[in-house]
Structure 1
C-alpha cells in the first residue's frame, strides 16, 4: 500500500512524461523488436480507454440533459458551443495556410514516392453522415458495431467501426424523455446519475495505466519508425507541428486571455487530456480524460462537460479537419509549382470548416478531410499518399490539437454562461486518476 501511495503521490504528468522518455529510449535500444515486446502494452491501454468510452458517454449525456432542465437550456448551450467550434476551426485553417505559405514545406520534394500502403478513401455524402447519426439498431451502436466493405465489395458488419454520434443521439432522446416525464422517472434519473458516477470512478482507475500505455506506444513508434521515414519529409512534419503549436498557444491562449482566464492554468489543467491524445492518436480514446480534465482540474460544470466534450470528440477536429488539409493543399501546390489562387484559398477555408462537421465520426478523419479539401480545390490527391508513410507521426500532434480544442471551447462557453468554477480553474490541478486518499480508502 505504501508503494501505491508513493506512486500516486507523483504528479500525473510526471508519470506520463517518464513513460514517454523511457519508451523512446526502449524503442531506440530495441529497434523494430520494440513493437513486439512493448507494443501490446500500448494496444492494451488504448483498448481499455475505448472500453469505457461508450458507457461513460451514454450515462453522462443522459444525466447531463436530464439535469439541464429542459430543451431550451440545452439548445442555448449547444448553439453557443457549436458557434465556437466553427470560429476556432476557421482560425485553425488560417493558421495552416499561413504556416504553409511561409515555411514552404512542398518546395524541393520532387520525386517523392506514394507509400505502398496508401489506398484512396471514399468520401461519404453529407446525407449519409446525417442518416448515420440515427442508429438503426441501438444495441449495435452501443456495442460499437458498424459496417465495412469486404474484399468482394460487400457491406458487412464489423466490430470497432461504429460512431459515437448514434450513442449521443439515443442518449439525448432518453435524457429529453426524462425531462418530459419529470417526477414519474425520478428513480430512473437517480439511477442514471449513479451509473454516471460509477463510470467516472472506473475512468479514474483506468487512467492510472496511462504511464505504462505511454511507454508501450512510444517504444513501438520509435522502434518501428526510427528516423529514416522522417527525414525526407521533415519540413512537412515541422510545419505541421509548428502550425499546431501556434493554434494551441496563440489562438487558444489568446481566446482564454480575452475571456479573463490565465492560459497557463488551462494548459496545466488540460495537460492529462493533451498527453493521452498525443500518445494514443485517438480523440475517442482521449475523451474520458478530457472530460475529467476540464471538470476536475478546470472547474467546468460536469453536466455541461458531459454534453460538450463527446460532441466535440465527434465533430471538433482542428488538427485533422482544419490545419492538416490546409497544409496539404499548400504542400501540393508548392510541389506541383502551381500557386494557389485567392479563390482556391477561399475554397480550402470553407471546405475545411464545413467538411470537418460533414465527416463527423468517420474513421481516418484526416485522410477523408484532406480528400474533401483537395478535391474541392481541384488539386491532385496523390499528396496524401506521399505523406501516408509518416502519418502516425503527424497524427500524434493533429490529435493533441483536436483534443485541446475540444477542451478549450467548453471552458470558454462555461466562462460566458457562469458554468465555470473560477476557484477550481485557478487552482489548476493536474491529476485525473486515482488520488492518494483513494488509495488509503481502498
Structure 2
C-alpha cells in the first residue's frame, strides 16, 4: 500500500481507525481496573508498534497527532494554576523561614550536583565511543543558529513584571517566583497576626484540593495521549534518518542509562537507603510519561501524584521540590547532552579538546542549567552556551537536529526522575518520608480509571 494508491486523507483515516481500535483496548483495560502504570507502559508499546506499522505503510498520522496534541494542551491548561497554588500551599505550611531556606539549599544543591555528575558521565562515554568518528559534516541548509541571550538577560526575563500576562503566556518561572513572594508574605504576616491571613490560607488549601481533582480528570487521558505521541514519533522517523547518527543516539542513551542506574540508583540505595528496584517500580509512571511527552512541565502533575502517593513523601516536600525541579533540574538536557554534543562536534571538525576544556564543559553545564530555567528548548540553549564557551562551531548543532527529538525522550525521562529522586532525598533528610509504608509496598492507586 503506497500513498499513490490511497490519498493522504484516506491514509489519515486508516491510521486513525487502527488507533481507535487500540485506544478502545486501553479504555477496556481501564474499565477492568488494570493499574494506571501498567496501562501507560502498554500504551507505550502499542504506540511504538502502531507507529512502525504506519511508517511501513506510509500512512499519514495527522489525526493520531491531534489526540496527542489535545492531551498536551490539557496538561498545559493545568500547569500554571497548579504551580502557583502548590508552591504557595507548600510554603504556608512551613512557618519557619529558616527551614524553608534549608529546603531550598538542599533541593538546588542536589539538582546542580547531579547535573555536574551527568556532564562528567556524558563526557566519559562520548570520549570512549567517539560518536563523531568518520562522520561527514553536512549542516542542513535551512539551519539557523539560535541566538543566545546573555546570562543577565535570561535572569531579567525570569523576574515577574506582570504575573497575569506571564501566566497567560505560559511562563512558569515568573509565576513560580511571584508565588514564592506571596507565600513568604503570608507566612510573615501570619507570624504577627494569624487571623488576618486565615481566609487566604483557607482559600489556597481549598483551591489545592480542587486542582488535585482537576489533575485526576486530566491524567485519565494519559494512556491515550502516550499512545498517540509515541505512534506519531515512531511513524515519523525511518532508518534512513537514523542511520548516520545511530552511534550518537547510542552514546547518548548509554550515558543517560549509566546516570540513571549508577547516580540515581546509588543515591536511592546508599543515601535514602531505599531498595532501588522498589523505587523504580513506584516511579515508572513518571518515567513513562516524561519519556513520551518530552516535557518536564507536562510530567509535573503525574510526578506529584507519584511522589506523594507511591513514594510516600509528604505533600509539603513534594509541592516544593517538584515544581522547582520542572523549572531547573536538567540532568539530561543540561548535563549529559551538552557534554556528548561537545565531544561529537569537536570530533566532526577535528578540533582537539584539552583537560581544561573538559573541566569548562562540566562547569558551564552546571551554570547554564541555572541560567536557562524556564527558557523554551533548554537543551538547545544549554548546548549552545557550552559550545560557545569552549570555542566550538555552533554549526555543529545542526548536525544533530534530525535525531534530537528521539534523544530528548530519554533526556526528559532522566530530568523528571532526577526531580523524583531529589524529593525522596530531601524528604528523607527532613523526616518527611514514610519509610514503613514504602517498604510495606503500600501505595494509593492513582484513581485514574474512568467512572
Fold shared per TM-score above 0.5: yes
1:348 maps to: 361
Q: Report the CA distance shift for 1:6/1:407 in structure 2 as closer, same or farther (over 3 A).
A: closer
1:197 maps to: 209
Please state how far the C-alpha of 1:353 moved relative to its aligned partner.
Answer: 0.7
1:154 maps to: none
Please state how far the C-alpha of 1:211 moved relative to its aligned partner.
Answer: 0.9
Select the residue among 121, 143, 168 that pairs with 1:118: 143
1:307-346 equivalence runs, <5 A: 307-346=320-359
Structure 1 segments unaligned to the other structure (5+ residues): 146-161
Please state how far the C-alpha of 1:133 moved relative to its aligned partner.
Answer: 2.5
RMSD: 1.8
Q: Distance in 2 between matches of 1:181 and 1:385?
A: 52
Please state how far the C-alpha of 1:116 moved relative to its aligned partner.
Answer: 4.5
Please state how far the C-alpha of 1:428 moved relative to its aligned partner.
Answer: 5.2
1:384-423 equivalence runs, <5 A: 384-423=397-436
Q: Report the CA distance shift for 1:13/1:385 in structure 2 as closer, same or farther (over 3 A).
A: same
| Cα-to-partner distance string for 1:279-318 (whole Å, 9 max, x where unaligned) | 0111111111111111111011111211111111111101
Please state how far the C-alpha of 1:338 moved relative to its aligned partner.
Answer: 3.1
1:217 maps to: 229
1:80 maps to: 106
1:151 maps to: none
Asked if the contact 2:116–2:362 (Cα under 8 Å) also holds between the matched residues in 1, the reply is yes
Say which SS state the counterpart of residue 248 (structure 1) adopts: helix
Asked if the contact 2:36–2:448 (Cα under 8 Å) also holds between the matched residues in 1, the reply is no
1:135 maps to: 160
Q: Report the CA distance shift for 1:424/1:51 in structure 2 as closer, same or farther (over 3 A).
A: farther
Q: Distance in 2 between matches of 1:352 and 1:433?
A: 36
Asked if the contact 2:388–2:394 (Cα under 8 Å) also holds between the matched residues in 1, the reply is yes
| Cα-to-partner distance string for 1:310-346 (whole Å, 9 max, x where unaligned) | 1111111010101000001111122223331011001
Select the residue among 159, 177, 180 that pairs with 1:169: 177
2:53 maps to: 29
| Cα-to-partner distance string for 1:34-60 (whole Å, 9 max, x where unaligned) | 421311111111111111111111111
Q: Distance in 1 between matches of 2:348 and 2:444?
A: 45
| Cα-to-partner distance string for 1:83-136 (whole Å, 9 max, x where unaligned) | 1112111110111001101111111112x3223453211112222222222211
More divergent stretch after superposition (33-42 vs 376-385): 33-42
Q: Distance in 1 between matches of 2:311 and 2:417?
A: 13
Asked if the contact 1:321–1:355 (Cα under 8 Å) also holds between the matched residues in 2, the reply is yes
Q: Report the CA distance shift for 1:268/1:329 in structure 2 as closer, same or farther (over 3 A).
A: same
Q: Report the CA distance shift for 1:60/1:190 in structure 2 as closer, same or farther (over 3 A).
A: same
1:259-278 equivalence runs, <5 A: 259=271, 260-278=273-291
Q: Distance in 1 between matches of 2:424 and 2:251?
A: 28
Q: Report the CA distance shift for 1:90/1:64 in structure 2 as closer, same or farther (over 3 A).
A: same
Q: Distance in 1 between matches of 2:316 and 2:298?
A: 20
Select the residue among 438, 442, 446 that pairs with 1:425: 438
**TM-score, scaled relative to structure 1:** 0.90
Q: Distance in 2 between matches of 1:345 and 1:369?
A: 15
Q: Distance in 2 between matches of 1:119 and 1:106?
A: 21
1:14 maps to: 38
Asked if the contact 1:13–1:272 (Cα under 8 Å) also holds between the matched residues in 2, the reply is yes
The number of residues matched between the two structures is 418
**TM-score, scaled relative to structure 2:** 0.89
The alignment status of 1:38 with 2:64, answered yes or no, reads yes
Asked if the contact 1:359–1:369 (Cα under 8 Å) also holds between the matched residues in 2, the reply is yes
Runs of 4+ aligned structure 1 residues displaced above 6 Å come to 429-432
The alignment status of 1:295 with 2:292, answered yes or no, reads no
The alignment status of 1:99 with 2:125, answered yes or no, reads yes
| Cα-to-partner distance string for 1:233-268 (whole Å, 9 max, x where unaligned) | 000001111110111111110011112111112212
Q: Distance in 1 between matches of 2:365 and 2:421?
A: 20
2:14 maps to: none
Q: Distance in 1 between matches of 2:95 and 2:223?
A: 39
Q: Distance in 2 between matches of 1:178 and 1:230?
A: 53
Q: Distance in 2 between matches of 1:17 and 1:89?
A: 27
Say which SS state the counterpart of residue 9 (structure 1) adopts: coil
Say which SS state the counterpart of residue 240 (structure 2) adopts: coil
Asked if the contact 2:309–2:446 (Cα under 8 Å) also holds between the matched residues in 1, the reply is no
Q: Distance in 2 between matches of 1:246 and 1:66?
A: 38
